[in-house]
Structure 1
Amino acid sequence: MRHVGKDCLVAFDGNLYSVPARRVRPRQLVEIRATKSQVTLHLTAPQSSGETLLAAHPRAAGRGARVVDEKHDGLPTGAGRRVTTGDVPPQPRRERSPAPAGPLHALFNRAAVTQVEVGRRPLSVYDELTGTRPFTTCPSTKESS
């Protein structure tokens, strides 16, 4: 399983293989089936026709090769990266409204926890309950001997 890049290329075994942009979307998972001589790329779920094959390529020897079928649309032209043009339209980016006091403040404003009354007491109460003494930066004379 590999993800489709924005440029309609799928990385496998140190090489890049093309898929048709009209049939995939960026970051979509595709299944790779490889033999010694061929690499085929398949959809993870069959289409209505039952077909899963996206592309078949000869397997590249070595690493760093780009194996591209020129019939595939949406491939990089060298003038920049093209994005896939698949049937699934890209989702628009949602603009975030800035939270005035940060994400924790926004979380508390949404939750019922803001209605809970919290008791306040000095930390010395806990020291008394546990039988410990407060932390000090200077060790007592008993501890230093």
Structure 2
Amino acid sequence: MTRAKKATEVPTDPLDAMLARLQLSGIRDQLDNLLDEAARANLSARETLILLCEREIARKDHRRIDMALKLAHFPAVKELAGFDFEAQPSIDPKQIRDLAASRWIANGENVLLLGPPGVGKTHLSIALGREAILAGYTVQFTTATTLVAGLAKAHGERRLDEKLLALSKPKLLIVDELGYLPLEPDAAHLFFQLVSRRYETGAMLITSNRSVAEWGTVFADPVVATAILDRLLHHSHVLTIRGDSYRLRAKRKSGLIQPPPAGDGPPVGSASLRPVTGGNNLQPRS
């Protein structure tokens, strides 16, 4: 009986195996093309090595950014390049560019974006979050109602510490739409614990249609709201946007909505900053 011939095995490329072991997939997957590119450019051995490392770093950065964007749970794709600064003259573009550098995140500081609905607070928060990811920071986005509901659920299941620990890990936590909808009865106490856990260690960006003077009403507990603001405003950048809603502006241009009569007063959220109760600790640092 003739023994069946053993299938010929394709020899493993030792360089390919070493690159795989070193997890240099960017170089491994493009090696032939990269070497051809280096040869056409007449690069030296050192310059070729630099080229290979640059492509590997670019590949890893691209994958890291893609993963970080997915983990951030942004509700939409928004970038600073798409923000209409001319439509919102109350916003200083230079200040936004400074925030986009993300130094405040490294320092564990906070940003509060205040103003009426539709003026671009969520757009700016997502755009600044994307810039933070590009700078290498971890980011998580959530709405205030979703955040507080999650904290309340964890508290009821006796795993609040676990939830707070998870929320303390991202270098930047974005909390959108604070004050738009009623919060849970224990929202103030739960939110205070989160702010305390992140105080001076993790940055927060909060958007709200209410001025800080109204946060006692937002949380239905002026005392705890004062304690929350004391920590948030200690190291903070507060931007109050005074302007018209992008969505309503388009409707007014089409004639579907009439503009409000002059003298109606400032828009919601445009009140000047002042503490919920007395005390110097609530003033933002200059």
Instruction: Tell me which interval the TM-score lies in, with the shorter structure as reference length.
Output: under 0.3
- Greater fraction of residues in strand: 1
TM-score by length of 2: 0.14
Higher CA-based Rg: 1
